[in-house]
Each structure stands twice: as structure tokens, then as C-alpha cells.
Amino acid sequence: MAAYDFTAPRLHVEADLRAGLVLPLERAQAGYLLTVLRKAEGDRVHLFNGRDGEWRAEIRPNGRKSADLALIEQTRPQPAPADLHYLFAPLKTGRLDYMAQKAVEMGAGLICPVFTRYTQGERLKLDRLRANAIEAAEQCGILAIPEIAEPARLPEALDALEPGRLLVFCDEDAAVADPVAALRAAADPASPPPLAVLVGPEGGFSPDERERIAGRPATVALSLGPRILRADTAAVAVLALVQAVLGDAR
């Protein structure tokens, strides 16, 4: 049996969830269920808010374009939030949307924009970043919405990391060519420490930034192979490696 039921729509809501609650739908959500998906009275929907687990609800139309959801039962309890921090230099809007969604799918528990010397732009909409995180969670059965941190300059972002958190630094000039070997040498896969991943901008890090990152204790430089990857591609590649060797996919 599949771990999740993807046959029913899954919606994120802000309200607290409990048995017996009747929840009025926002207009956009009602339109999505009734008009786009053509759902009818009694059809089931899964709800989550990032706090109270996942709940099965039934549609109760109260007009042609509006509906309530009646909560029936909890289908999954709320899991602990993922303890993987993803730090990244902001990208152009379309690629930033993709990156945010993939970071959520790959298990990031905190998403933090980091401004570096070669960051292409510093205009960033955190509400859009959160909307992409919620969309990915809705589509992939994820119940814990990652925290979207306020943007920070690189020095401040590094200082904010706990001393014992292992920082995986994507570095095209890393001396160790084998990323799996580098991760295994940095931490015991049987008992890994809290993790953070840092991906820089398209232009890479400046020499002084590289020196500052490398000088932080509990930091490992990681090569992602012989090809130069775009920053959004690097996000998926490094998160997959980290989760497979030291994270929750091992």
C-alpha cells in the first residue's frame, strides 16, 4: 500500500484542524475544487496546516461557487520538522520558484536566502517563496512547511549556524572529487550531526567568501562532479547526495 493517498486533492490551510470542524473554503480553493477538479458533495479532500497533521475532510457545497469542508478524521499525525537548512544565493524568479519547490521536496526544513558578492539580484519576495514551498508540500504529501528565513548577508548567515551543524559547501574547486567519500569523511553516517547546505550564485563565491566559508569549523567542501551546474540544478544534486549519505534517505 502506498504511503500516501494521492487520489484525493490536498490543500494547505491556516486554520487549526480538529474533528468536527466545518471550515469555509477560500474562494480560490473552492473554485479549484468545484470548477477545475469538478468535485462534488461528499468527495474527500486532505487538509494540513503544518501543525496538526493531515485530516480527511468532505466537501459540503453551499452555493454554485462556494463550499465548506467538514473534517472527519486525522489520517496522519504531524511529523517533527526536518532539521536540514538550505542556504542559497537568490536566483531569477522562474528558477527561484523551481529551486524552492525542489528544496522542499528534498527535505529542507529551513530555507534561507543568502546575499553574496556575485548574487545577481537582491529583490526577493518571501511570500512567493512560501507559496512555492506550500505548493510543493501540497503536491508531494509533505506535512511540515519549511521555515522561510529572512534574507541575510553571507557572514551573518554563517554566524547564525550552530557550531555543531555540519555545513556542506558546494565548491567547484573542492579537492575531493568523490562527494560521497567527502561526506562520509566529514561525519559518521550512522550518527550524523544536524546539516546545512550552501549553494552560491551562478558566478560562484569570491576568494574572500570562499576563505571565510572554509574557515568555519564543521564545514566540508563538496564537488558535484566534472560538469558546471546551474544553481537550481546544483540544489537538487547536493540535497540528494546529502540526504542519501547523511540524511533521512540513507
pLDDT, one tens digit for every residue, the chain (250 residues): 346 677 889 999 999 999 999 999 888 888 889 889 999 999 999 999 999 999 999 999 887 778 899 999 999 999 998 899 999 998 877 888 999 999 999 999 999 999 999 887 667 899 999 999 999 999 999 999 999 999 999 999 999 999 999 999 988 777 767 899 999 999 999 999 999 999 988 888 899 999 999 999 999 998 887 777 888 898 999 999 999 999 988 7
Thinking of the domain 10-76, which architecture would CATH place it in? Beta Barrel (2.40)
- Predicted local distance difference test score (pLDDT) of residue 1: 38
pTM, two decimals, is 0.90
CATH number of 84-246: 3.40.1280.10
Q: Where in the chain is the domain with CATH 2.40.240.20?
A: 10-76
Q: Tell me the CA end-to-end span of the chain in Å, nearest whole number.
A: 22
The CA–CA distances, whole Å, from 181 to 68, 80, 97, 234 equal 53, 29, 31, 18
Residue 233 CA, distance from chain mean position: 15
- Predicted local distance difference test score (pLDDT) of residue 13: 94
CA dihedral 59, 78, 101, 88 (to 10 degrees): 150
Query: DSSP characters for the chain?
Result: --SS--SS-EEE-SS---TT-EEEPPHHHHHIIIIIS---TT-EEEEE-SSS-EEEEEEEE-SSS-EEEEEEEEEEPPPPPP-EEEEE----HHHHHHHHHHHHHTT-SEEEEEE-TT-S-----HHHHHHHHHHHHHHHT--SPPEEPPPEEHHHHHHHS-TTSEEEEE-TT-S-S-HHHHHHHHS-TTSPPPEEEEE--TT---HHHHHHHHTSSSEEEE---SSPPPHHHHHHHHHHHHHHHTSTT-
Q: Where in the chain is the domain with CATH 3.40.1280.10?
A: 84-246
